Amino acid sequence: MNLPPPPSVVIYINGFPFANSATVLPGQSFGQLSAPPIVFDPFKVQREFPSRWQAYIRANFRHIAHVTQVFHVSERTARNWWTGATGANGAHVAIAVNVHPEQAHLMLFAAE
């Protein structure tokens, strides 16, 4: 009597389904996969964010007054963003993603 093959198993690499995955049949070993593990460095993100925010601000707004109007911030804050002295907080990033969904996501979060 021939039985149907058992279902395959999906293994999530790095612990969640949005990263790399591999399909392994029962009885097989997945061994070492060819892709290196993705290492997230939060300190690098923190260091780079003011320059990413500055690039986003300069690409999407005409002048400092325009920034103050859209984000409801002081002129000093807008100037700090414009010069790259500081980045934004989470609420301002949320506004940016709402105003320019695709461009903000690419400029602020895309890996280099």
Query: 7 and 25 in contact (C-beta within 8 Å)?
Result: no
Beta bridge partners of 12: 21
Number of H helices, E strands in the chain: 5, 2
Over 90: is that where the pLDDT of 68 sits? yes
pLDDT of the residue at 39: 72
Domain ranges of the chain: 1-39, 42-109
36 to 10, 23, 61, 112: CA distances (angstroms): 18, 17, 39, 17
pLDDT of the residue at 99: 95
What confidence tens digit (pLDDT) does each residue in 91-109 have? Answer: 999 999 999 999 998 898 8
Q: Provide the 8-state DSSP code for 53.
A: H
d(CA 93, CA 100): 10
Over 70: is that where the pLDDT of 55 sits? yes
The architecture that CATH gives domain 42-109 is Orthogonal Bundle (1.10)
